[in-house]
Amino acid sequence: MSRVGLLGYPLSHSVSPAMHNAAFTTLDLPGRYELLETTAEELPAMVARLRQDEWMGANVTIPHKARVIELLDEIDSSAAGIGAVNTIVRDNDRLIGYNTDVTGFQVDLRSHGVELDGDPVILLGSGGAARAVTAALIPGGARISYITPLVDEAGQLIEDLVKPSGAQAQILPWEDDSFSGAVCRLVVNATPVGMSPNAEACPWPDEIPLPKGAFVYDLVYNPAETMLMKRACAEGLGTGSGLGMLVEQGALAFELWTGVTPSREIMTSAAQKALEGRDA
């Protein structure tokens, strides 16, 4: 039985084991996906474990997508370009880092009918997830406004990704004035705010309306409808959750580990059932 897992902290919200194990079962492959809750201090030792023969690799999530790079032997261009890894593949005694988040976000955003052509975007956050979203948005010429408390981190993101591409971006502090009167085509939450078990939290201030006509995409997928999405629906805006992105990036990672293409429908159904079970 080969093993894969998810490195991150915390992981109680994750439904990745349900969707990946459903794919293994449906394809009759001898694999098992498990949660590997890992603090920053534990990360080097946990990554070293992945070199053992029983492991095919792992996914990586908050807060390790950038830090894990220094622990790997090679970084694929998909991850090197954005400075974040979400998938590790063991190739004999070598660990190779990839990023499937970029394509995952692009595919799911298109499934909602959102096409950007130089449109303004508000991106909440500046970490590894924000880097993937930025890389996904740049080809569409999006003009990105980062609202984040981590100004230095956002500045580095712009230096690494935005400036070399010739795209436009600005950094706004995480305060009410940055949210007030915002105009954009797309709002993306790339922070964990609103994620279970803190599902009552919302990254957009309560007293400030969301931008009129914007599509609101929350990378958080647990709960299935976040407070940000509820706010957007109440204001008549279209919404998307991170579940579609999760499934797409997960399917791409599964193929990297096994060489087999899994059913997106099977993975989506398993993830949805896992979420419904937690809400029951």
Q: Which fold has domain 2-99+246-279?
A: Rossmann fold (3.40.50)
Judge whether 2-99+246-279 and 113-237 match in fold. yes
CATH 1.10.10.60 fits 113-237, yes or no: no
Share of residues in the chain with pLDDT > 90 (%) = 89
Map 216-279 to HEC letters: EEECCCCCCCCHHHHHHHHCCCCEEECHHHHHHHHHHHHHHHHCCCCCHHHHHHHHHHHHHHHH
Q: Residue 280: pLDDT band by 50, 70, 90 thresholds? A: very low
Omega prior to 30 cis, within 30 of 0: no
Express each pLDDT in 162-200 by its tens digit: 999 999 999 999 999 999 988 999 999 999 999 988 999
- pTM given for the model: 0.91
Express each pLDDT in 109-142 by its tens digit: 999 999 988 999 999 999 989 999 999 999 989 9
Spot the catalytic one: 65, 212, 230, 273.
65
| pLDDT of the residue at 128 | 87
Q: Residue 1: pLDDT band by 50, 70, 90 thresholds? A: confident
Q: Residue 276: pLDDT band by 50, 70, 90 thresholds? A: confident
Q: What is the C-alpha separation between 178 and 276, in angstroms, rounded?
A: 35
Question: Is 65 among the catalytic positions?
Answer: yes
Domain ranges of the chain: 2-99+246-279, 113-237
The pLDDT of residue 67 is above 90: yes
| pLDDT of the residue at 132 | 93
Express each pLDDT in 240-269 by its tens digit: 999 999 999 999 999 999 999 999 999 999
